Amino acid sequence: MAAPADIENQSGRKITRVVPIPQTISAEAQAVLAGPPSPYANVVPATPEAWKALIAEINASTWTNLIQPALARYPVTVERREIAGVPVAVVTPKSRTAPANNRRTLLNIHGGAFIVNGGRQAILEAIPVASLLRMPVVAVDYRMPPEHPFPAGLQDSLAVYQALIRGQDRRRVGVYGTSAGGNLVVAMLLRARAQGLPMPGAVALVSPWSDIGPVGDSLGTNAVIDPTLVHYNGLLRAAAELYAGGTPLDDPRVSPVYGRFGRWFPPTLLLSGSRDLLLSGTTRLQQRLVEAGVVTEMQLFEAMWHDFPVSYGVPEAATGWQQVAAFLDRRLGR
Amino acid sequence: MAAPADIENQSGRKITRVVPIPQTISAEAQAVLAGPPSPYANVVPATPEAWKALIAEINASTWTNLIQPALARYPVTVERREIAGVPVAVVTPKSRTAPANNRRTLLNIHGGAFIVNGGRQAILEAIPVASLLRMPVVAVDYRMPPEHPFPAGLQDSLAVYQALIRGQDRRRVGVYGTSAGGNLVVAMLLRARAQGLPMPGAVALVSPWSDIGPVGDSLGTNAVIDPTLVHYNGLLRAAAELYAGGTPLDDPRVSPVYGRFGRWFPPTLLLSGSRDLLLSGTTRLQQRLVEAGVVTEMQLFEAMWHDFPVSYGVPEAATGWQQVAAFLDRRLGR
């Protein structure tokens, strides 16, 4: 494979056309596709203070627009704790834990481009799975830039994983994450393997950002068509570089699609949408896993955007979480 | 769901941009994406004679450019026969049949937009699977338009299936098809189920054209980006209407994505590429199958076009067939 080239400096096919809003998805999802693109796609903060202000603004919007609807839909309680010195949120369903899950453990590493969804927002993806599977989910509130670039978040995630799997039957431990959290799940398991730690019983990845560099066909084909990320050469690229902090973007520790996989990697669900700007992070990772003999399942949702399951107002989001929960339930030991 | 609307008459997002050739695929595949689009995409024959001339021209090109390279790569012998009065080609590997496959049966229904790949071309997709799995494959040379629109091809396919599964352990029978052949596989199994026939042990679908109407997000998002089909409103639409012969395009007998599925449907592999113009035929069908409780596997190839496995000069094609063969081997009874 040639060295990563800048997607803006490649030759290609010039396209001018109207891409229709499909009628093969819910009315709510059609409204997202027809709505304005994300206002943050082109914002590139120049200083740590500007980053912090932007992060605070996005987090506040996420709390109101995503997490409050999620809490209304999926009844859970949240307890803040520390595991191995790392802050976590334990998200527990208000319904009783399903007896079949009494000995199971679920770990979530949240997404948010390595910059947002920290703090109280870290529960974003734990809420639906805790509620649907009727068992607690531990969400890692890992350190993030601008103060803490790579490898801080990876170290925090690994420390919690190591503490959770100790003394457990590894087949009863599940790990999942979306977007940047999917990146961290895979990078963490590559590192755990190198350190001789046991692997979990199952892994679920939603829209994994497995290559944070300017690489992957979907960065071209799904630009603008994905209204939530819009394009790579703006906030997304800035966040990738802020996180990497000088580490080359094709280093497998920050872009785990370049890692070395083997049959030791757990059965993995990859869930994404056909309009995901980072869809290539899913397709390329699946191909590497399949080549290595790993069991994969994939669910590709018609016309859905990057990390659509956190768009809690859209019916397809609920279906996505149901499929994540069903996969973990099917694959984890009891 | 609203009634299907014409993709050209919908509102949507205007896009003007250069879509780069990705570096995440083989050099051979990059050359296909960078090359000229198909010269046939806009050809719409006005008379049966013009259809026959076009079909003969495409078939001749397929023989030279696809089937001869396939025969060179995958050593097989071909025997023409009749089963249940329907012409078939039995494609047998030159290597000995693998002992594990002695009691297995494989049926292929070829693709070609319901118009091409009949006659001696019907072996197009049987060649690689017979060779890789080391067992014979029966390819149905079903009747096609302009002389024989729906339901002739479906009847022929079902007659052969019924003859092959009679007296067999159904779990040892596999069925696969690409594009229009994927459509026929699913439509045939819906009809077989309605008639009380046993289901096969496994089904593999490559780029299934499960909705032949002007419906599906990929018709918009992947137009032009898929250099082989280019767009729907040309030859593809004309072929769909020629095949349907007046049957509404959303009738489940011609667009099986609208069929009623249940747990009785066999475990199904769906294999496609992220640039497939008909990708929605895969995503929507998978969602219907999953909703019905069917076990599905999906392999989505980075930046690949519609039915890329028949592009035998591209390394990704060989990988695609290997995954089809591996799936059938894993899922079929011995």
pLDDT in tens, B152-168: 999 999 999 999 999 99
Looking at chain A, the whole-number percentage of residues with pLDDT higher than 90 is 92
- Written as six digits, the tokens of A97 are 């834990």
- The answer to whether residue B32 neighbours chain A at the CB level (below 8 Å) is no
* Cis check: omega of the bond before B146, within 30 degrees of 0: yes
- The answer to whether residue B31 neighbours chain A at the CB level (below 8 Å) is no
Q: What's the CA gap between B141 and B89, in Å, rounded? A: 7
Mutate to test the interface with B, among A10, A13, A38, A291 (most CBs of B within 10 A): A13
A216 and B13 in contact by Cβ < 8 A?
A: no
What pLDDT, on the 0 to 100 scale, is given for residue A156?
A: 98
Q: What is the pLDDT of residues B174-213, one digit of tens each?
A: 999 999 999 999 999 999 999 999 999 999 999 999 999 9
Q: Which residues contact A261 (CB under 8 A, 6 or more apart)?
A: A288, A289, A291, A292, A294
Q: What's the CA gap between A205 and A269, in Å, rounded? A: 6
Q: Which residues contact B162 (CB under 8 A, 6 or more apart)?
A: B84, B192, B197
- Written as six digits, the tokens of A7 are 């997607």
Closest CA to B32 of B315, B324, B278: B315
Walk across the sheet containing B86-93 and list its strands.
B76-83, B86-93, B137-140, B105-109, B173-178, B202-206, B268-273, B296-301
**Radius of gyration from C-alpha coordinates of chain A:** 19
- The answer to whether residue A300 neighbours chain B at the CB level (below 8 Å) is yes
**B228-231 long-range Cβ contacts below 8 angstroms, 24+ apart:** B228/B32, B228/B37, B228/B38, B228/B277, B228/B305, B228/B306, B228/B307, B228/B311, B229/B38, B229/B41, B229/B277, B229/B278, B229/B305, B229/B306, B230/B37, B230/B38, B230/B41, B230/B42, B230/B277, B231/B41, B231/B277
Closest CA to A269 of A242, A239, A241, A300: A300
Q: What is the pLDDT of residues B244-288, one digit of tens each?
A: 999 999 999 999 999 999 999 999 999 999 999 999 999 999 999
Q: Is the pLDDT of residue A84 over 50?
A: yes
Which residues in chain A touch residue B216, judged by CB atoms under 8 angstroms apart?
Answer: 22, 24, 302
What pLDDT, on the 0 to 100 scale, is given for residue B11?
A: 62
Half-sphere exposure of A275 (CA within 13 A, CB side): 27
What pLDDT, on the 0 to 100 scale, is given for residue A14?
A: 76
Write down the mean pLDDT value for chain A: 95
- Written as six digits, the tokens of B268 are 């199904």
Q: What is the pLDDT of residues A133-176, one digit of tens each?
A: 999 999 999 999 999 999 999 999 999 999 999 999 999 999 99
Q: Is the pLDDT of residue B25 over 50?
A: yes
- The answer to whether residue A31 neighbours chain B at the CB level (below 8 Å) is no
Q: What is the pLDDT of residues A15-52, one digit of tens each?
A: 777 899 999 999 999 999 999 999 999 999 999 999 99
Residue A80: pLDDT band (50, 70, 90) is very high
- Residues, chain A: 334
What pLDDT, on the 0 to 100 scale, is given for residue A97?
A: 83
- The answer to whether residue B38 neighbours chain A at the CB level (below 8 Å) is no
Domain spanning A32-331: which superfamily?
A: Alpha/Beta hydrolase fold, catalytic domain (3.40.50.1820)
Nearest CA in chain B to A322: B291
What pLDDT, on the 0 to 100 scale, is given for residue B264?
A: 98
Q: What is the pLDDT of residues B49-74, one digit of tens each?
A: 999 999 999 999 999 999 999 999 99
Which residues in chain B touch residue A295, judged by CB atoms under 8 angstroms apart?
Answer: none
Q: Is the pLDDT of residue B1 over 50?
A: no
A19 and B4 in contact by Cβ < 8 A?
A: no
- The strand pairing partners of A271, in sequence order, are A206, A299
Question: Residue ranges of the alpha helices (H) in B6-121?
Answer: 27-34, 48-62, 68-73
Q: What's the CA gap between B5 and B214, in Å, rounded? A: 7
- Written as six digits, the tokens of B155 are 């009847």
Looking at chain B, the whole-number percentage of residues with pLDDT higher than 90 is 92
Q: Chain A: give the shortest CA distance to residue B271, in Å.
A: 10
Q: What is the pLDDT of residues B105-156, one digit of tens each?
A: 999 999 999 999 999 999 999 999 999 999 999 999 999 999 999 999 999 9
Q: Chain A: give the shortest CA distance to residue B85, in Å.
A: 40
Least-confidence region, from A12-26, A304-318, B98-112: A12-26
- The answer to whether residue A21 neighbours chain B at the CB level (below 8 Å) is yes
B21 and A11 in contact by Cβ < 8 A?
A: yes
Q: Which residues contact B102 (CB under 8 A, 6 or more apart)?
A: none
- Written as six digits, the tokens of A24 are 């093969």
- The answer to whether residue A15 neighbours chain B at the CB level (below 8 Å) is yes
Q: What's the CA gap between B222 and B273, in Å, rounded? A: 11
Question: Cα A166 from chain centroid?
Answer: 24
Topology of domain B31-331, CATH: Rossmann fold (3.40.50)
A13 or A300, higher pLDDT: A300
Which residues in chain B touch residue A322, judged by CB atoms under 8 angstroms apart?
Answer: none
Half-sphere exposure of A251 (CA within 13 A, CB side): 14
pTM, entire model: 0.95
- The answer to whether residue B155 neighbours chain A at the CB level (below 8 Å) is no
**A164-167 long-range Cβ contacts below 8 angstroms, 24+ apart:** A164/A83, A164/A105, A164/A107, A164/A138, A165/A105, A165/A197, A165/A198, A165/A200
Q: What is the pLDDT of residues A250-283, one digit of tens each?
A: 999 999 999 999 999 999 999 999 999 999 999 9
Residue B20 CA: distances (Å) to CA of A11, A54, A212, A217, A226: 5, 31, 18, 8, 17
Write down the mean pLDDT value for chain B: 95
Q: Is the pLDDT of residue B9 over 70?
A: no
Which residues in chain A touch residue B280, judged by CB atoms under 8 angstroms apart?
Answer: 22, 24, 274, 302-303
Which residues in chain A touch residue B218, judged by CB atoms under 8 angstroms apart?
Answer: 274
Q: What's the CA gap between A10 and A220, in Å, rounded? A: 10
What pLDDT, on the 0 to 100 scale, is given for residue B12?
A: 74
